[in-house]
Structures are given as structure tokens and as C-alpha cells.
Amino acid sequence: MILHELINYDTLRMIWWLLLGVLLIGFAVTDGFDLGTGMLLPFAAHDDIERRVVINTIGPVWEGNQVWLILGGGAIFAAWPQLYAVSFSGFYLAMFATLVALILRPVAFKFRSKREGARWRASWDWILCVGGFVPALIFGVAVGNVLQGVPFRIESDMRIFYEGTFFGLLNPFAVLCGLVSVAMLMLHGSAWLQLKTQGPVAERSRAWGSAAALLTVALYALAGVLLWFFIDGYRLTGPANMTGPSNPLLKGAERHAGAWFANYAAHPWLWLAPLLGLAGPLLALLGLRLRRPVLALLSSALGITGIILSVGVSMFPFILPSSLNPRASLTVWDSSSSHLTLFIMLVVTAIFIPLIVAYTSWVYKVLWGKVDEQAIRDERGHAY
């Protein structure tokens, strides 16, 4: 028996769908508090020392956190090439704006302290704020568009054509999903600042985080209601060929009202995902009000996990539905790489993901504790 045949093709496809979700959640939970902290910088910290405290809470870890984004992009490229082709080309301008924002963040970290001028430093502080806001918004907008269907089609020779526009992405429901993402990550950043700071910065962060928690619950619930009553989902019109070739055009699919809730009806235990998405921010709010930062941060992470899982559970087995031709929609079973490729990637992942998690855990253990404002005043123990 050939080694890669030890795991069935359909099983490998399912494993990689799950791993893609793990990578997205890993990025949102780790780099999410970096983005949220950046968004809060001009509001939680009012003078230069306070802002340096905030920056130094994420300065030593933000680069490591972005490894999850690189892993996610690499996984999409290697495991789901058609998904990569549509999303990274169709959402090109949105991706470009995201990359510009992410590139400006390290520039701001490094350049901010090169000059003493208040205007100079304030300008970089606002760039850090925008560098947190823009990716959070665009990632949410992208999810909102995926839930509605993306305007692409696939020809018989497997050429992919995207027929949407950048401003077409900014429809009301997608913007609402973007605001859910912004509020969710702002809450996460607030919980992080509660854990890493003290005094006025922690108190202001607690106030902003409390508002973000309530806003996350309200906007997420509103998005769910709109998805249920006003936005059609997608469903297969015949049995899925789980071991068939990666050709989306071989299946039947259609748009159908309420289709995104069919999995919940078939498996009621899946409601745990959206319930976690609602309960997590409320528990984080409780942690903030009780001044229990660990509870707030873990609860915020659970809320992020629930919100992302609820999207994946709703859409399964669809990964990227097509609003132009539902048959061209990409699913778990018809848009993956080959059996051998998925197996080799799984072996590599099984080796390196535990190493990354172990190293990251060690880094956070070493850096555990609050950022000391006095140390920054004394020019000791700070990076930025």
C-alpha cells in the first residue's frame, strides 16, 4: 500500500477543512489582540509614556502572532488552490489595503521613537490605530461577502473569472460583519491591556472593552437575524462525491432561503458554536467589570472561536459559494489539492504546528507580567 493511502482522500479533505479553521482561529486569537490594542492606542493612552506602555505590551509578540496569518495563507495556497485563486485575485484591492495596513504597523513600531516631537509620535500612533482597524474591518467584510456568495464563475476549461468590484464588496451586510470583527477584536485588545497594564490605561481599556463587548453581542445577533430572514444560503442538489476530482462543475448546487441554517437543524448540538459566540463576549464583559483579566482574555478568545466556528458550521460543505453560478461554488469535496499533496502537508503540519505552539507558549511565559510604566520612564526594560 502506498503510504498516503493510509488516510482516505475524503478524510484528508475534511482534516484540512478543520485545520484551515484552526489556523484562522489561531490568527484571530493571537494577532487579534495586537490589532485590538492598536485600535485602542489613541483612546486608552493619553500621553507619550502611557502610549509607550501600550505599545510595549504587544511589541515583543506581534511578529510571532502573525505567523498564523502566514500559515493560513500558505495552507489556502497549497490545500485549496482554487480558493486561493478566487479570493486572492477577486479580493485583490481589499487584500492590498490589508497588506499596506499590516506593513505600516512594524514601520510605526520602529519609527515612532526615532524623534521626540509630539506631532511625529502622534502621527505614528494613529497609523498604528488605522493598522489595527483596517485589517479587522476587511477580514469581517470578506466573511460577509462569502456568506452572500462571491461573483465568480468557472469555465469548462477551469479558468476562473471574477466579475465583482471593490466597492461592491462594501454592501450593508458585509459592512455589518466588518463591524462585528472590529468590535470583537477591540474587546480582545482591551482584555489584553487589562492583563498587561495597570492604572489609568487599564481603567480606560476596561471602559472601551465593556462597550465593545456589548456591541459585539448586539451586532453578531443582528447579523444572525439578517442571515436567517433576508440572505439566501447555498445547498447541494445531489449527493456529494467526497473522493471525486477537484472540479466544482461536476456537482449540482442552488441558492435557497435558510440554507445556512440547515446544518443546525440536522445537528442541534452545532448551536453550541453561535451560543459560544454570544456567551464569550458577555463572560469577557463580566471579567472586565470584576477586574479579572485572565477570565476576560480567555472568554474573549472563546467568543472569537465561537463566531468563526459558526460561520464554518453554517456553510459546510461550502467554502466559497458563487453568486453567478451556484454550480461553480467551491466545496470541501471538489476544490482541494491532490490526495498525495494533502497527505504530505499533513505530515509537515503534524511536525511544525506543535513546535510553533510550544515556542509561542514559552515566549508568553517568559514575557508574563505587566508592563511597568516606571521602567519606561527610567529607560529600562522596554523595546520601543
Q: What is the pLDDT of residues 5-56, one digit of tens each?
A: 678 889 999 999 999 999 899 999 998 999 999 999 999 988 888 898 899 8
Mean pLDDT, residues 94-114: 88
Number of residues that this document lists for the chain: 384
Most confident of 74-78, 108-112, 157-161, 224-228: 224-228
On the 0-12 / 13-18 / 19+ scale of CB atoms within 10 A, 221 is: middle
Distance CA 345, CA 79 (A): 8
Quick check: 269 and 260 in contact, CB under 8 A?
no
Within a 13 Å sphere around the CA of 362, how many CA atoms are in the beta-carbon half?
6
- 57: which 3 cell numbers? 505590551
Domains in the chain: boundaries: 3-377
pLDDT tens string 150-188: 999 998 888 888 888 878 888 999 999 999 999 999 999
Residue 377 confidence (pLDDT) above 80: no
The three cell numbers of residue 194 are 487589562
Alpha-carbon span 274 to 109, nearest angstrom: 36
- Report d(CA 358, CA 229) in Å as an integer: 44
Instruction: Judge whether residue 321 has pLDDT over 80.
Output: yes
DSSP 305-364: HHHHHHHHHHHTTEEE-BSS-GGG-EETTTS---HHHHHHHHHHHHHHHHHHHHHHHHHH
- Using pLDDT thresholds of 50, 70 and 90, give the confidence band for residue 74: confident
Q: Which residues make Cβ contacts (< 8 Å) with residue 167, sequence separation at least 6?
A: none
| CA 354 distance to own-chain centroid | 20
Lowest mean pLDDT among 159-163, 342-346, 367-371: 367-371
3-state secondary structure of 253: strand
The whole-chain average pLDDT of the chain stands at 90
